[in-house]
Structure 1
Amino acid sequence: MDFQPWWLIFLPLLFALGWIAARVDIRQLLSETRTLPKSYFKGLNFLLNEEPDRAIDAFIEVARLDPETTELHFALGSLFRRRGEMERAIRVHQSLLSRADLPEAEREHALHELGQDFLKAGLLDRAEQAFEQLLDTRFAVPAVKALIRIYESEHDWIRAIDAVKRLRALVDEPVPQLAHYQCERAHAALTARPPQPDQADEALDAAEHAVQSLRAHGGDTEGAEARIAMLRALQARLREDNGLERTYLGSVLRNAPTYASLIASGLLESWRKAGDPERGLQLLQEHYASHPSLDVFSVLFRELREARGRQVAWDFARDALSRHPSLLGLDRVLDVEIGKAQAASAPLDGTDMPPLTGGADFGLLRSLIHRHTQRLDRYSCKVCGFEAKTYYWQCPGCNSWETYTPRRVEELR
């Protein structure tokens, strides 16, 4: 490329423009720094020295002197909330709301942040009041979602359902837990004294409608379907309709096989009332062959031991445990045998046991195994890891729905 004389003019001009721009930026920065109130720097200093209460006082003074610093308050309040310092977060946001000159948009923002503070602090009534004031604002969707959480924690299922309906009017998105809200209503109606079957019918119909809506959006409905069927079976039992009870319990085996462990005992009992316990046993055995689970195994062994004798039960246990080794399963088997021996006031020696056991001391064997299986005999939440001996549809730890797999911890490892 040939040298052009005009470059001698152009290059110095570029350097001059850059120098002027830099000077302007520096002057502007210095000017802005001089205009910041001294309280701003005092607040920063207090924060660095881990004196949050004095920092809050300083930043409140900044907001009074310079209304443009509201974003600083929002950032500070969020920081305190994330650190779990709820009293300080509440104080920051309340100081914003106390300002008469705060623009409406920022007032709504401050109210939303304050509601979050109250919610995390467990002050549900005050959180509810804050979010209710936001229902006709741009924060309506997060406010309704927060109200749903509040009503859930208070077990106020009717208000939770109403809040879900309001949410669906704002956004077209499924709410998976809606079916469980209706199931909670149905369960309360069926366990009331006296039972209220009409209310249960209404709630279960609504739950089925919620499941259909969730299925249309591609959601997983197996758990909700199983729970509805179980509640329908309970309703049929209260009405002494044994045939309908068996129909609903059998539908769980077909449509929600993972949840068979929750209805295995009830299904056998229903067939026993019908005078055909062998049919119930056959159904469970067929199901176990294709969907093995520890709880179904335990129910089958106990029933086989009672109905067909020790040898048949132990043949089943031997085969099942060889295919699906389980210390907890062996613990359950030994527990049944010990219970039988105690009921008959018979000693647990090798002469009264299956050939496999020889002269083993069943009591000692069971106590050793049981010590190691107690921690395995639990359900575990997939979200927070909270473990419980009882199956919950909603985790007591994190309040998530359907996060407990109906299998024991040992089966998940």
Structure 2
Amino acid sequence: MDFEPWWLISVPVLFALGWIAARVDIRQMLSETRALPDSYFKGLNFILNEEPDRAIDAFVEVAKLDPETTELHFALGSLFRRRGEMERAIRVHLSLLARADLPVAEREHAQHEIAQDYLKAGMLDRAELAFQQVMDTRFAVPAVRALIRIYESEHDWPRAIEAVKRLRALIDEPVPQLVHYQCEQVQAALAAKPPNIAEANAALDAADNAAAALHGQERGQPSQARIAMLRAALAKLSNNAESERTYLESVLAIAPEYGGLIADDLIKSYRSVGREADGLAVLKKHYLRHPTLDTFNVVFREMRAQQGHDVAWEFARDALRAQPSLLGLDRLLEIELAAGDRSSLTQITSDADLSLLRSLIHKHTQRLDRYACNVCGFEARHFYWQCPGCNSWETYQPLRLEEVK
């Protein structure tokens, strides 16, 4: 390859072009830096010094000086929402929506942000309307999820079910709580005056279909147990004692730990046809395999009524040795006091005052006689399928606090 003299000229030319380009970039960068308000650098400095409050104030000043900084507005709005300053967050996002020149994508973003502000502020009507306005945008999925939460909190189960269907149309994702939405509809129909049997049956069929659509771990025993309990309640309203017992006993097989929740209903169902002894045998057998305090209470009470004091207390002593429980002892004393048969208690209590003994124990067991949410720890005297504290589903164990390991 021959050397050409003009190559010597091209080298300094290329060098000069590179130098000019570098000078232009530096000047542009310096110009942009000078254009940034001092408040911007103050805000950065406050962040580095871990002074978030002063940093936010500085960035607010930047947003006032340069209204075009939409990303800064979004960041400030999110910061205010996380800090619980809902009025300021709403004001920031409303100022964005008021801009006529805001691009469509950023307007949709601002609409979704203000919907979240309203939701966190507890303004559910406004939040619902704001989320509905972004249903045809890229924020459709989070908007539907938020609407489901809103309808849940309002106990508007029909609209919650419709929202779940809409979510399933957008993404292929199981929604286990759908079964409980249908079950809540069943309970509402049963609580009506008079009970709406047809509506309850239709909702239960829908709950069965929703449970069957789940697969793997999502198809949980608690929801299936709840469906069986509601089937039993419907059978009772129809005076079909046999079907009622069948559904109640299926709970013992489907979810044995929930046996305590249906023990009383099961013994009543057997008693309605004169077979209380068979019911007691079923519950006693279940208790020996899956001991819970609620089942123990029913078994002891029925055993005392059917087989006498001595047999019941022999069972109770063995049970309390195996599963020591102050709550269990409290229940025993309560039943004995209600029975009023003091003559049979002399060998157990000697000369002690049974009423005083029970009152002392009861004082210490009141705090243990509760169910607790596994997620937020909310305690309640009654069992809930949905936690009243955090609105999570199936987070209550069917065990009292004293029983939870």
> Taking structure 1 as the reference length, what is the TM-score of the superposition?
0.87
Per-residue deviation, 1:360? 2.9
1:21 CA displacement = 11
Which residue number in structure 1 is paired with residue 261 of structure 2? 262
CA distance in 2, matches of 1:388, 1:27: 68
The total of aligned residue pairs comes to 384
Q: What is aligned with 1:381?
A: 373
8 Å contact 1:259–1:406 — kept in the other structure?
A: yes
The structure 1 residue matched to 2:344, chosen from 352, 361, 365, is 352
Indicate yes or no: 2:129 matched with 1:129. Answer: yes
Match of 1:9 in 2: none
- SS of the equivalent of 1:411 reads coil
Alignment-derived partner of residue 311 in structure 1: 310
Distance 1:264 1:354, change over 3 A: farther
Instruction: Describe the superposition over 1:333-362 as per-residue Cα deviations: whole angstroms up to 9, x where unpaired.
Output: 111111112xx6x5xxxx531634333322
User: How big is the shift at 1:32?
Assistant: 2.4
Q: Secondary structure at the match of 2:93?
A: helix
The change in CA–CA distance for 1:49 and 1:84 in structure 2 (over 3 A counts) is closer
1:371 deviation in Å? 1.3
Find the residue that maps to 1:81 and give its secondary structure: helix
For 1:275, give the aligned amino acid: G
Equivalents in 2 of 1:61, 1:371: separation in Å?
61
> Closer, same or farther in 2 for the Cα pair 1:27/1:326, shift >3 Å?
farther
In the TM superposition, 1:239-388 aligns within 5 A as 239-341=238-340, 346=342, 352-353=344-345, 355-388=347-380
Task: Answer whether contact 1:39 1:58 (CA < 8 A) is retained.
Answer: yes
User: Structure 2 matches for 1:122-271, cutoff 5 A?
Assistant: 122-214=122-214, 216-271=215-270
Structure 2 distance, partners of 1:309, 1:71, is 77
What is the deviation of 1:45?
Answer: 9.4
Find the residue that maps to 2:402 and give its secondary structure. Answer: helix
Q: Greater shift after overlay, 356-365 or 135-144?
A: 356-365
Task: Report the alpha carbon displacement of residue 363 of structure 1 after superposing the two structures with TM.
Answer: 1.6
| C-alpha contact 1:63 1:70 (8 A) present in aligned 2 | no
How far apart, in 2, do the equivalents of 1:49 and 1:110 lie? Answer: 23
8 Å contact kept, 2:81–2:89: yes
In structure 2, the CA distance between the partners of 1:315 and 1:27, relative to structure 1 (3 Å rule), is farther
Change (3 A) 1:32 1:217: farther
Structure 1 residue 88: deviation in Å? 0.9
**Contact kept? 2:43, 2:56, Cα under 8 Å:** no
State the distance in 2 between where 1:146 and 1:164 align. Answer: 11
Q: 1:99 to 1:366 in 2, by over 3 A?
A: same
Q: Which residue of 1 aligns with 2:5?
A: none
* Structure 1 residue 314 displacement after superposition: 0.4
The corresponding residue for 1:391 is 383
Check the 8 A contact 2:63/2:72 in 1, yes or no. Answer: no
Give yes or no for contact 1:253–1:259 (8 Å, CA) kept in 2.
Answer: yes
Range with greater deviation from structure 2 (351-360 or 116-125): 351-360
- Alpha-carbon distance in 2 for matches of 1:217, 1:117: 36
Cα 1:46/1:281, change in 2 over 3 Å: same
**1:375 aligns to what SS in structure 2?**
coil
Contact 1:311 1:354 in 2 (8 A): no
- Give unpaired runs (5+ residues) of structure 2: 1-18
Among the aligned pairs, what percent are the same residue? 64
Structure 1 residue 30 displacement after superposition: 3.5
Partner of 2:74: 74
The alpha-carbon deviation at position 57 of structure 1 amounts to 5.8
Q: Does the CA-based 8 Å contact 2:309-2:344 persist in structure 1?
A: no
2:61 aligned partner: 58
Residue by residue over 1:279-309, the C-alpha shift from the partner in whole angstroms, topping out at 9 and shown as x without a partner, is 1000001111111101100111111111111
Q: CA RMSD in A?
A: 2.5
Query: CA 1:97–1:43 in structure 2 vs 1: closer, same or farther (change >3 Å)?
Result: farther
Structure 1 contact 46–54 (Cα < 8 Å) conserved: no
Measure how far apart 1:37 and its partner are.
3.9
Q: Give per-residue Cα distances to partners, 1:371-413, cap 9 Å, x unaligned.
A: 1111100000000000000111110000001110010011013
Question: Letter of the aligned partner of 2:99 in structure 1?
Answer: R
Q: Is the 8 A contact 1:384 1:398 kept in 2?
A: yes
Partner of 1:4: none
Partners of 1:42 and 1:58 within 8 A in 2: no
**Could you tell me whether the CA contact under 8 Å between 1:59 and 1:73 is conserved in 2?**
no
Amino acid at match of 1:405: Q
Match of 2:11 in 1: none
| In 2, Cα distance between equivalents of 1:111 and 1:363 | 64
- How does the TM-score come out when normalised to structure 2? 0.89
How far apart are the structure 2 equivalents of 1:169 and 1:354?
A: 69
Report if aligned partners of 1:301, 1:317 keep a CA contact under 8 Å in 2. Answer: yes
d(CA) in 1 for partners of 2:360, 2:27:
80
- Write the distance in 1 (CA, Å) between the matches of 2:367 and 2:324: 17
3-state SS of the aligned residue for 1:84? coil
SS in 1 for 2:366: helix
> How far off its partner does 1:270 sit?
0.3
1:409 and 2:401 are equivalent in the alignment: yes
Change (3 A) 1:63 1:135: farther
Q: Structure 2 vs 1, CA of residues 24 and 381 (structure 1 numbering), >3 Å: closer, same or farther?
A: farther
Letter of the 1:385 counterpart: G
Once the two structures are superposed, residues 205-236 of structure 1 have per-residue CA deviations (whole angstroms, 9 ceiling, x without a partner) of: 1101111112x243142111111111111111
